[in-house]
Amino acid sequence: MITTDFVPGSPCWLDLGAPDVPAAAAFYGAVLGWEYESMGEGEDMEGGMFRKDGKAVAGLGKLTEEGARPAWMIYYSVADADATTQAVEKAGGTVRVAPRDLDEWGRMAQYSDPLGGQFAVWQPGTNKGVDLVDEAGSLSWTELYTTDAAAAKEFYGGVLGWRFGDMELPGGAGTYSLITPAGLPEERMHGGLMELTRENLTLTNGRPYWHPVFNVPDCDATVAAVTANGGSVQMGPEDAEGVGRLAVCLDPSNADFVVLTPPPA
């Protein structure tokens, strides 16, 4: 489970790069019940914060990188962004955004792993991360689709200290690797990775990618809201034993995310 103590290697923040910020704010407000708080001025709304019941759950910004697809970026907590950057480069990754301070809030950097999966890190200052996780309308899991699971585990294990536990999916659907921060028990696992062929990674033309999983009280009702507000569904809703009811969705600009209703306690 994801918590807000944000130990090194745990997910602590996420933000969406969207071509149309007001449209994205409206979509996620309708689908996840988020309120949008603009941090800019005027009607352009270049960026800001999503909140759920007043608590920060994610960020939203204008997609400005040429050729980039609309997507969620997941940030992992680190003690030293500069040391992490050196580890990324040594392990064959690429620095997309060099470490930089965001006022007194903290220090961030963005990378691509050796296979092309994009992720980010956050060295906390006064801001440790999101205020709400693992509850309805907030981040509950992170997931990597990759073309080489063994290589991904070697990279992220070396850079972020993760350890992995493999489980076989029902029906011979493949192996799913569960991710836990270093030194923590398995109940603190926060994500997973799965190997897929390039042909199955159609959103990115074969490049690996991360996406968030959001906890929702009613998966089917959320999926109905997704489609009613211009989004689409790639898979589901369907039941996953021991996991809950889930669906893989796209927002109107084709940024992907998963919605999950956990099984009854």
Cβ–Cβ contacts within 10 Å for residue 253, how many? 19
User: What pLDDT was estimated at residue 194?
Assistant: 95
Q: What is the mean pLDDT of residues 199-222?
A: 96
Instruction: Tell me the pLDDT tens digit for each residue of 15-59.
Output: 999 999 999 999 999 999 999 999 865 555 578 999 999 999 999
**In this predicted structure, which of 66-70, 126-130, 229-233 has the lowest mean pLDDT?**
66-70
User: What pLDDT was estimated at residue 42?
Assistant: 53
User: What pLDDT was estimated at residue 265?
Assistant: 73
User: What pLDDT was estimated at residue 169?
Assistant: 82
User: What pLDDT was estimated at residue 77?
Assistant: 97
User: What pLDDT was estimated at residue 65?
Assistant: 81
Q: What is the mean pLDDT of residues 139-143?
A: 97
Q: How far is CA 110 from CA 58, 181, 188, in A?
A: 16, 19, 24
pLDDT above 90 covers what percent of the chain?
87
User: What pLDDT was estimated at residue 152?
Assistant: 98
Q: What is the mean pLDDT of residues 192-212?
A: 95
User: Which burial class, exposed, middle or buried, applies to 238 when counting CB atoms under 10 A from its CB (0-12, 13-18, 19+)?
Assistant: exposed
Average pLDDT, the chain: 94
Torsion region of 103: left, alpha or beta (phi above 0 gives left; psi -120 to 50 gives alpha):
left
Judged against a pLDDT cut of 80, whether residue 14 lies above it is answered with: yes
Domain annotation for the chain: domains and CATH numbers? 11-124 (3.10.180.10), 138-261 (3.10.180.10)
Instruction: Tell me the pLDDT tens digit for each residue of 77-126.
Output: 999 999 999 999 999 999 999 999 999 999 999 999 999 999 999 999 99
